[in-house]
Amino acid sequence: ELQAFIFDLDGVITDTAEYHFLAWKQLGEELGIKIDREFNERLKGVSRLESLNRILALNNRETNFSLEEKEFLATKKNEHYKELIQQVTPNDLLPGIHSLLANIKSNHYKIGLASASKNAPAVIEKLQIGNFFDTIVDAATVKRSKPDPEVFLKAAEQMNVTAEACIGIEDAEAGIESIKAAGMFAVAVGTNEALRKKADMTVERTNQLKLNELIKSFQMYN
Ligand code: BG6
Ligand code: MG
């Protein structure tokens, strides 16, 4: 029986996926590495350091830097990112998300957040939606990043529900893999084919996430 919804943050609740992209692009320019939107799909849901490794690998430069230098570069990206998220307000919730959260809550399901970002608590605060969440699990509190299931499993555990009773919602391939590895029903938001193929249900945009349809698909699957 369905008991909880676990949301990814960047790219599902708000469009910070775009800010991560812009921040990496800026760092890339400083390093002479060009990052386009197609390549960026492979960075979604991926941890800060692993993202940097993938970017450096584009120019076969992942072995040119020590861990210390990589940490310096990753921090630089994060400075760009933190500057960009200063402008986030409740108006930046993606279409339909506020009413979906309110609808889930008034139907007495639990709501969790499973984010790969260490900036998740700051973004949630800027969006002023902290009150909707029964638990918030972010990158700072898990050992293994997506596609490992840890972050989704921890959110379920903290809400006292089993994995089979959860619906996970993601915009990243690594995230859908994480949800499936956790044994949950996976909903993909986006048009990327590789992403959609791995999910149990897909929508193109957040305003197509409707509570009754999510419940229906979950029940048909189970
Ligand atoms: C994920 C984003 O939510 O968090 C990734 O999809 C990002 O793009 C990752 O790299 C880590 O975020 P942060 O804020 O800890 O650098
Ligand atoms: Mg995401």
Q: Whose CA is nearest to atom 13 of ligand 1?
A: 117
How does 95-131 read in b/e, with b if 16+ C-beta sit within 10 Å? ebbbebbeebbeeebbbbbbbbbebbbebbebbebee
Judge whether 8 counts as a catalytic residue. Answer: yes
Span 162-206, pLDDT tens digits: 999 999 999 999 999 999 999 999 999 999 999 999 999 999 999
Find out whether 151 and 184 touch, Cβ atoms under 8 Å.
Answer: no
Ligand 1 pocket, residue 117 CB under 6 Å: yes
Judge whether 171 counts as a catalytic residue. Answer: no
Run means of pLDDT, 10 residues per run, the chain, 222 residues: 98 96 97 94 94 94 92 98 97 98 98 97 98 96 96 98 98 97 98 95 98 98 92
Q: Which atom of ligand 1 is nearest to the CA of 172?
A: 6
How does 32-43 read in b/e, with b if 16+ C-beta sit within 10 Å? ebebeeebbbeb
In this prediction, residue 129 carries a pLDDT of 98
Ligand 1 pocket, residue 40 CB under 6 Å: no
Q: Which atom of ligand 1 is nearest to the CA of 11?
A: 6
Ligand nearest to the CA of 122: 1
Ligand 1 pocket, residue 14 CB under 6 Å: no
